[in-house]
Amino acid sequence: MRELLRRRGRAARGLVIALALAAAVIPAAANDRDAVAPAIKITSPLGRSGLPGTIRIVARVDAPAHRQPVSVAFSIDGKPLSTDTDGPPYEAQWVDENPFEAREITAEATFAEGPAIKDSVTLKPLEITDVADVSSVAVEATVVDATGRFVSNLEEGDFLLHEDGNSEKIDFFRQQRDPATFALLIDASHSMAIRAEAVRAAARKLLDTLSDDDQVIVAPFSRGINTITGPTTDHRTVLDAIAAIKPAGGTAILDALGQAAQSLSGQSGRRALVLITDGYDEHSESQIDACLKALNGSNVPVYVIGFGGIAGISLNGEKLLGMLAAETGGRAWFPRDELQLGKAYETIATEVQHRYFLTYTPHNQRRDGTWRKISVDVGRPGMKVRARAGYTAPKAPPVHPTIEFTAVGSAADAAAITRDDLLVAEDGVDQEIQTFEEAVAPVTVMLALDGSGSMKKAAAQAQEAARDFVNALRPEDRLAMIAFADRSVLVHGPTDKRDETLKAIDNYAASGGTALYDALYDSMMQMSKVEGRRAIVVVTDGRDENAASNGPGSAQSWEEVLHQLEQTEATIYAIGIGSNVDKARLEVLAQKSGGAAYFPADVTTLAASYHKIVDELRRRYVITYESTNNKRDGQWRKLDIRTQDGAVTIRSRGGYYAPHPDPGTP
């Protein structure tokens, strides 16, 4: 009996100790739970997707259930965006109006007790690769054997690459596993409502096959691309985004594909566009050819997951969906069960991650907008290569002439006109004016002033008229000056300071011959270095001759002056004083440049001619248009500008030179 009591006593003491220990452990566990610091992390977006539409910002808060935040506030570059108070998932919607500038997204969680916590993500500017030239073409290729297994470890020499049947040399070759971006273009139209759970299950299958550093973009669409989530590496964020899709409205598959292709076209890195749809397209405005052109230009493979019930109203069923994929180097699946769906996603992930990357510089460098067929082969039996079928060469940019002119009324004075008054023809072909405005931009003026001996008697009056002209120019106009007699001398280059010009006029002294052609040639050479509006005002009382009037006064010939005039887009205003001037040649210079020639009888009326020039410089017009001839052949294009009623005369250069040919143009 005593032994039994001793045993019971020992058991009771053990129970008391155990209960005491438990009492000590329970508060400790509670304290440990309270000691877990909450954390916040922005899971989407982690970069720029390039896709149009609203972006869904998502933040995850990891905290005990009893310490969930009261609110999560989102801001962009420090400016408040919105606050989410209804619990997880914490999200905000934002329109990325300028993806080419860096933006900082901040999410700050506030709690009933304790300090707030925050996380920030900096979105780098979207970098778009310039594809204006044909200089280099990138091709991604997948190689499988006769059993459909992917073939790795091929070398550059194993590949044969052709463009339009012509062999091309591979410039760059690589096969390595790079992180990839998968853009899930999910049909969110009403017809997909009954398949919503299947779409979520499909996404889970894809996520299971991705690597940790692969990014996903969720882009639901109906008539257009809707709210975008991503890019993100957080799988829960992806699944939440898909769960948030509310199927409604009609479907525009071709439009959505075109939008996505255009947005993804210039971005670098491995990318894949995964289209999840039932194929029922009822609202697309795009045609199939335009969609294929956009997809081929994007160099992004399209993988189609088509759920049963392809209607084929505008996509013409599985055949056309398959063609959309095949043309871009992707594939199409129409799974009938979970097993087939899982296999399709595993294939997509593996194929994107194991594609060969090649670039080449095509022999055909013409920018003519034509379709170029690409074929990639491997010189080994039983192997099949999948790559995009080709690309559309970029077109040469349009030719946009900018023409400045003067409208002159019946009294030879500047006339007021409107855009509707004008008719423009280039080489006999009517053109549509895009912009019409008064030429209010600052003008650079070269004043070429005759200082030959014949000007000696009227020097004082010539000086006074020149001063008036200089002072009448607008403060923002720049002025340069050349003085010529036996030779042409550059007094100073373009400047908006008038002191140097006025000083040169004060020091004006007439003597020697008339190097008129040298002065004109030098003026044009100086003006050819100037951007913007340009005018040359030449004042002379004679013709090109030496002091003895028995030979030329210039080293440059008349023909060389005319040739330089063709190369210089400057308007020439000529003032010929007295009866000894070469009126015919001064008028040619004015007519060819769109300027005017004035012939005062003597120096007493010189000031009036100067004033006409100043007035005309302030009453000129500028038009631009897109030429119907986009050839860049460097040839002269004859331009005819006239008014509807013919009562106003238009003075212009009469044409322009087209841009020079592009490299590779025969």
Closest CA to 162 of 144, 145, 139, 142: 139
Decide if pLDDT at 636 tops 80: yes
Q: From 123, 142, 166, give the residue that closes a domain.
A: 123
Same domain, 44 and 182: no
The four Cα atoms 195, 196, 202, 207 give a dihedral, to 10 degrees, of 170
Decide if pLDDT at 519 tops 90: yes
Type of residue at 450: D
Residue for token digits 């009126």? 583
The answer to whether position 370 is within a domain reads no
* 68-77, 295-304, 486-495: segment of lowest average pLDDT: 295-304
pTM for the structure as a whole: 0.54
The answer to whether position 6 is within a domain reads no
Q: What is the pLDDT of residue 393?
A: 86
Same domain, 433 and 454: no
Q: From 81, 96, 123, give the residue that closes a domain.
A: 123
Compute the mean pLDDT over every residue in the chain, rounded to the nearest whole number.
Answer: 85
Same domain, 410 and 495: no
Q: What is the pLDDT of residue 522?
A: 97
Give the CATH number, domain containing residue 60. Answer: 2.60.40.10
Q: How far apart are the first and last CA of the chain?
A: 119
Decide if pLDDT at 177 tops 80: no
Q: Yes or no: say if 123 and 105 are a contact pair by the CB < 8 Å rule.
A: yes
Pairwise CA distance, residues 594 & 641, whole Å? 12
pLDDT digits (tens, 9 = 90+) for 304-338: 988 765 444 345 567 778 888 888 888 888 877 66
The answer to whether position 549 is within a domain reads yes
Give the CATH number, domain containing residue 461. Answer: 3.40.50.410
Same domain, 300 and 248: yes
Same domain, 615 and 645: no
Pairwise CA distance, residues 275 & 256, whole Å? 10
Same domain, 434 and 448: no
Strand positions, DSSP E, 348-475: 356-360, 371-378, 384-387, 390-392, 402-408, 422-426, 429-431, 433-438, 443-450
Q: From 123, 145, 163, give the residue that closes a domain.
A: 123
The answer to whether position 342 is within a domain reads yes
Q: Yes or no: say if 138 and 268 are a contact pair by the CB < 8 Å rule.
A: no
pLDDT digits (tens, 9 = 90+) for 330-382: 888 887 766 777 778 778 887 877 788 899 999 998 888 889 999 999 988 88
The answer to whether position 363 is within a domain reads no
Q: What helix, strand, coil percent values describe the chain, rounded to 5?
A: 30, 30, 40
Q: Which two tokens stand for residue 569?
A: 């887009």
Segment 657-663 shows an average pLDDT of 77
Same domain, 609 and 503: yes
Same domain, 522 and 595: yes
∠ CA 574-577-582, nearest 5°, is: 65
The answer to whether position 292 is within a domain reads yes
The four Cα atoms 463, 465, 466, 471 give a dihedral, to 10 degrees, of 120
Q: Yes or no: say if 231 and 44 are a contact pair by the CB < 8 Å rule.
A: yes
Q: What is the pLDDT of residue 641?
A: 95
Same domain, 641 and 600: no
Q: Which domain holds residue 551?
A: 443-619
The answer to whether position 23 is within a domain reads no
Same domain, 201 and 347: yes
pLDDT digits (tens, 9 = 90+) for 143-172: 988 887 888 889 999 999 999 999 999 999
Same domain, 431 and 472: no
The answer to whether position 34 is within a domain reads no
Pairwise CA distance, residues 51 & 228, whole Å? 8
Number of domains in the chain: 4
Pairwise CA distance, residues 560 & 563, whole Å? 5
Q: Yes or no: say if 561 and 570 are a contact pair by the CB < 8 Å rule.
A: no
Same domain, 264 and 348: yes
